[in-house]
């Protein structure tokens, strides 16, 4: 069983989101010895945004069904994973832009999604049976719809999310918030 861990925790060792994600993954591994975890550290990847030239190149490759092209390596990896965990802090009411760039790169017609013959609806082609989004937020408001929507666009696996909020608010019980998130992640790890 292949689990793809998309690590968009830019602060790396200092990241509280990453520490929650590592905690989840070790619990999950304890209960699922057969799981093979592939970690994609977005900090270390050379992923390019889709710009005018690359958009044209991509459209040509898709038209010719050249799905083995290296252009699609992230999309192939995403589409074939059984489980997906994404960890990213809340940045600017959303998440670090490298995660959006990654998502642009995996949005590939014919690999991660397709349109029906009439072209008026889409179906996800990605295999995942569960997808988990882990985030931590300094304050409280943060968009909760985007990752959920994009997950259901890519596939019909079950969606889970953990939002640990208020971590930079003076006077908040930070350990309490983190422990609550860990407990929720422990519960998810049993059904994921
Ligand atoms: C560049 C940047 C942007 C941020 N934007 C927001 C934001 O829009 N809303 C918010 O509540 N907190 C924001 N924060 C605070 C982080 O969400 C918070 O500290 C989070 O726990 C950081 O996660 P990490 O420890 O995994 O890096 C921001 C922090 C940084 C560094």
pLDDT in tens, 128-155: 999 999 999 999 988 899 999 999 999 9
Tell me how far the alpha carbon of residue 51 lies from the centroid of ligand 1, in angstroms: 27
Are 136 and 90 in contact by the 8 Å Cβ rule? The answer is yes
Task: Tokens for 23, please give them.
Answer: 């905690």
Which pLDDT belongs to residue 119? 85
Rounded to whole angstroms, the Cα distance separating 44 from 164 reads 25
- Domain boundaries defined on the chain: 2-191
- pTM, two decimals, is 0.97
pLDDT in tens, 72-97: 999 999 999 999 999 999 999 999 99
Which pLDDT belongs to residue 141? 85
Tell me how far the alpha carbon of residue 15 lies from the centroid of ligand 1, in angstroms: 10
Which pLDDT belongs to residue 55? 97
CATH superfamily of 2-191: Flavodoxin domain (3.40.50.360)
């Amino acid at each position: 069983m292949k689990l793809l861990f998309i690590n968009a925790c830019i602060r790396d060792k200092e990241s509280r989101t990453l520490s929650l994600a590592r905690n989840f993954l070790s619990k999950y591994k304890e209960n699922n010895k057969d799981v093979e975890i592939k970690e994609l550290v977005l900090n270390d990847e050379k992923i390019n945004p889709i710009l005018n030239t690359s958009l044209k190149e991509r459209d040509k490759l898709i038209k010719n069904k050249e799905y083995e092209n290296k252009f699609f390596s992230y999309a192939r990896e995403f589409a074939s994973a059984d489980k997906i965990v994404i960890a990213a802090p809340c940045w600017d009411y959303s998440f670090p832009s490298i995660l959006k760039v990654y998502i642009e790169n995996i949005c590939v017609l014919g690999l991660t999604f397709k349109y029906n013959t009439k072209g008026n609806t889409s179906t996800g082609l990605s295999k995942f049976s569960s997808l988990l989004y882990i985030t931590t937020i300094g304050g409280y408001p943060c968009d909760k719809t985007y990752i959920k929507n994009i997950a259901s666009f890519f596939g019909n696996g079950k969606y889970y999310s953990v939002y640990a909020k208020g971590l930079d608010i003076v006077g908040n019980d930070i350990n309490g918030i983190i422990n609550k998130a860990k407990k929720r992640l422990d519960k998810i790890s049993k059904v994921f």
